[in-house]
Chains A and B, each alone.
Chain A
């Protein structure tokens, strides 16, 4: 399956010079130089809103994420950051708005009245956006390796030897090649999450979504997961991470997004948002972390 079935009407990003000045909508102060490794916009949400019943959780989120960009979303619980992430690959159905990932553009359909062709579009989005969950969600009846080759073989249609080679490469990358034949029950929380990252990488997605990947971990296991993620970020993996790890965000993020009450309250380079926030809500949120 080709992952470059780009919708031609949305390839309007012109060829830019790297390190170019930030355009409006990029999330960086307009005109300031963006990090020079960033490429073209690959994820874009437009006017994204989500209601749970009458609870207005997302109140219009416009976000652009560029190739090789690492975006960290922070904010207090209930700010809508996890809902936003889950809307990106339609694990939650947005109520209003558009989502576009790597040329596949899908509109919110709160009544879920999609045609089959439209549902296929959502699958195409999911193929482009790998996800890592807070609770790992490894398949307990499969070994680490089987977890990693399941979707490549059955969804991407890779021959098994090729899928195994790919899985071994990524298990090695997360430092768990020797655990390839273990069942998840025999792995520590940190190891499970690293296998989950390898599993997502095996689909060779265009962007990786992380939903509080260290929140379910014992404190001493958090580091091994963050190290893997930081390495991925530095290698230029496009990623959107919902996290509470401010030190990690400071080290690995190109851009930090602070969400509050269902909107982006403030965003920009990590040193700006984490050290010199301008919004009162951001300051109040960060104060709690400075105390620890």
Chain B
């Protein structure tokens, strides 16, 4: 090692060694971040640029038709936000039903989860829009799409919530009961707030999946990102370029959402054990 002053064991020696370690750690951290970012940029250019070149599309397409596709992002967000809200409510009810000791709510809950996890989401969307009118229920496309997404995601999230509620230690419930709290109050004030913290990472994944799966409602003519991309791709004779732009829009939305999720998790972690 160079630049060490003072003899072994002296304060000066120790200070120099610690400073050198600190310096080296800083250097290696900075080198890691720089290379990490460079790798990302290289991969985006390689695959994005490569695909774009292979499509043979004019770069002007991005400026002329890009804004149209981007305008579908509003509908994507609307469909996703509505569906995830309803799905969360359904999942809460579903989880309560699945945890009930009464056979009827328990049966209803397990039937619901089985049906909507056991059939394809795409089928459910088409069914709500094209099949329900045969029994006299005529839903606008947006309502049909949101209904199908909500029911489907509600079924998956029911299981997530159920697992989260069960993950709260038994002693927490006992502590609530021992304080004379009725069961409902124990559930609402003690179990639920802790279950919510436990399920946030998993629910965040569902939110992200929802942003992407909302593209399925393009088959029932909802003017969201993918629908607009396909339409403008056909009319401008640039189908591949249109898909690339749509993909970029979804990707960006999910990245933005992940950042929010990280912040939320960190904020809730403050009171963690």
User: In B177-192, which residues have CB < 8 Å from any A CB?
Assistant: 177-182, 185, 189-190
Instruction: Report the nearest B residue to A150, measured CB to CB.
Output: B189
Q: For B197, what are the chain A residues with a Cβ–Cβ distance below 8 Å?
A: 141
Bound-state CA distance A123–B179 (Å) is 9
User: In A170-201, which residues have CB < 8 Å from any B CB?
Assistant: 183-185, 199-200
Q: Is the CB of B181 within 8 A of A91?
A: no
B36 to chain A: closest CB distance in Å? Answer: 32
* CB of A137 within 8 Å of the partner chain: yes
Bound-state CA distance A217–B175 (Å) is 18
Q: Tell me how many residue pairs across A and B have CB atoms closer than 8 Å.
A: 64
Instruction: Report the nearest B residue to A209, measured CB to CB.
Output: B178
* CB of B273 within 8 Å of the partner chain: yes
Q: For A133, what are the chain B residues with a Cβ–Cβ distance below 8 Å?
A: 171, 174-175, 178
Q: For A130, what are the chain B residues with a Cβ–Cβ distance below 8 Å?
A: 178-179
Bound-state CA distance A141–B194 (Å) is 7
A151 and B179 contact, Cβ closer than 8 Å, known pairs A140-B194, A185-B271:
yes
* CB of A154 within 8 Å of the partner chain: yes
0/1 interface trace, chain A 81-125, chain B, CB 8 Å (1 if under): 000000001010000000000000000000000000000000100
Bound-state CA distance A183–B193 (Å) is 14
0/1 interface trace, chain B 183-211, chain A, CB 8 Å (1 if under): 00100011001100100000000000000
Q: For A150, what are the chain B residues with a Cβ–Cβ distance below 8 Å?
A: 179, 189
A184 to chain B: closest CB distance in Å? Answer: 7
Q: Is the CB of A155 within 8 A of B180?
A: yes
Please, how many residues of chain A have a CB less than 8 angstroms from a CB on the other chain?
Answer: 27
Bound-state CA distance A202–B171 (Å) is 19
* CB of A248 within 8 Å of the partner chain: no
Bound-state CA distance A183–B272 (Å) is 8
- Of B169, B178, B182, B189, chain A has the most CB atoms within 10 Å of the CB of B178
* CB of A203 within 8 Å of the partner chain: yes
Bound-state CA distance A237–B271 (Å) is 32
0/1 interface trace, chain B 17-51, chain A, CB 8 Å (1 if under): 00000000000000000000000000000000000
Q: For A203, what are the chain B residues with a Cβ–Cβ distance below 8 Å?
A: 179-180
Interface residues in chain A, defined as those with a beta carbon under 8 Å from any beta carbon in chain B: 89, 91, 123, 126-127, 129-131, 133, 135, 137-142, 150-151, 154-156, 183-185, 199-200, 203
11 more contacts with CB within 8 A, not counting A91-B174, A137-B169, are A123-B182, A126-B179, A130-B178, A137-B171, A137-B172, A137-B175, A139-B194, A140-B272, A141-B194, A156-B180, A199-B179
Q: Can you spell out 14 A-B residue pairs with CB atoms less than 8 angstroms apart?
A: A91-B178, A123-B180, A126-B178, A126-B180, A130-B179, A131-B178, A133-B171, A137-B171, A137-B175, A139-B175, A139-B194, A140-B194, A141-B271, A154-B189
